[in-house]
Chains A and B, each alone.
Chain A
């Protein structure tokens, strides 16, 4: 009898579309975890509600014994709560967007109980007839995200208590972006490292959110008691900022593309990723290529899990 199994695969790819926006992403185990047979500790999740696209990536802290649970719980609980507050707000005819490949077969619940599986994309909920509501002011959406942060922090604490463990055993970073595809505006919540990167139409990249002002070797996590002092939130405007894409990534990749030399590495990286994704015949193929690349490129000193989600028009 199969009594337990790893439901957090070493590689996972996600892809889909909402309105005029497409997304492709992937998460791959790092060299070190792979060699030590520890599995991937990053998690990612893409969800939606009406015109809201919600993307979350998290990095379970490697020295925390249950970092993988931390990151998986964080992306699930946070996106669940963030979307819960939002009105449906759909400006177009509702249609189901398929999530092909293995993802369709996955079932999901929001508690890490036996049978819990990581899914890259959750099927869109509230399909069909739904009550529409106005988009709340953006400041209010930001408040929803802080509240989702509070909720997720509690979920992690409660889970740790149930397991008889220290909450820091589930230490995780979290970067989540709520993007309204009709308004073309986004709101983000971010604690810890990793980055939210915008790519402008002129080819220049812009760091929308990145951990700054901390010495190398320090990272803040959602499980720490003073997490509120370190989380960041903000908005971005896809049209006004002249963006053509934005990307969410964990530090395993951010460390390899945000720092030089060369000086213009971030611009070059972002343009290369976009070019490769757009040049691929389908979103599914692009996601497969992306996760293959994430899981196989080698750089000296780059050992960590790597996660990237690209949202583009």
Chain B
């Protein structure tokens, strides 16, 4: 059981802030820095509180699809795996739920289809990894290629518009509840549920255990294979939810949806403090990572700057985040061993 104790993120009753909390505060600092740069470069906009509120809601709305995916990705990565297929699964589920045949069943039928297809495809990833003994990188890479191909096959590479009859899906990207866009609320709900699942349930503790030390987890009696399947199914479920968000935002399903989402989600999880080696990570950190990336995109476009700059800045942020992480870990080790 030592593994479980070690992996539990927040030791109770300690006065000093734990490592993840410190890191998340750092990420909030980055967000504030982005706002500060905005205030300096476009004071006419960023100092207008009304505009600022609308713009921040826009950033969160644009972050919602990747945010939901990143929650699933965080689970997979804490469990010691990786899911490269998320972007392709968004494409596949978005196409599957917007075919003429599916749309006959109304908005609920579309949501059901997206979620079920996502879960099935995710489970397939899990089965290949857990029972087929494929390396996660390879299994999900194969799924990336195949799902994208299937999406192209189903859609005939055409953009599948949401039928006007399916008002609920159409209106989702317009609706607000108490002034907050519905899509943002979906992301927050997924985030909260993910946080509870990760930090307050056996499922979450097992995830940390498997990622931290699979052998110890096995000896502790955890059914690792079944748990891995569940983790990838969870990631697939998140892809299905994200597909609904993307379909609503763009009013269409398409085989080119979710382009490079896997990289965005992995990068966000990593700057949020999730370890590629598994056993470590937080939902809050991952979501902050997503918002930082979308905030940078927004900052550059609002300043009417071309994309090439923001790509470079994003790359630099990923490197900086990992370097800080390594530095912290090694200094921590020195302190404990010294």
Q: Do A and B bind each other?
A: no
List chain A positions with a Cβ less than 8 A from chain B: none
* B interface with A by C-beta (< 8 Å): none
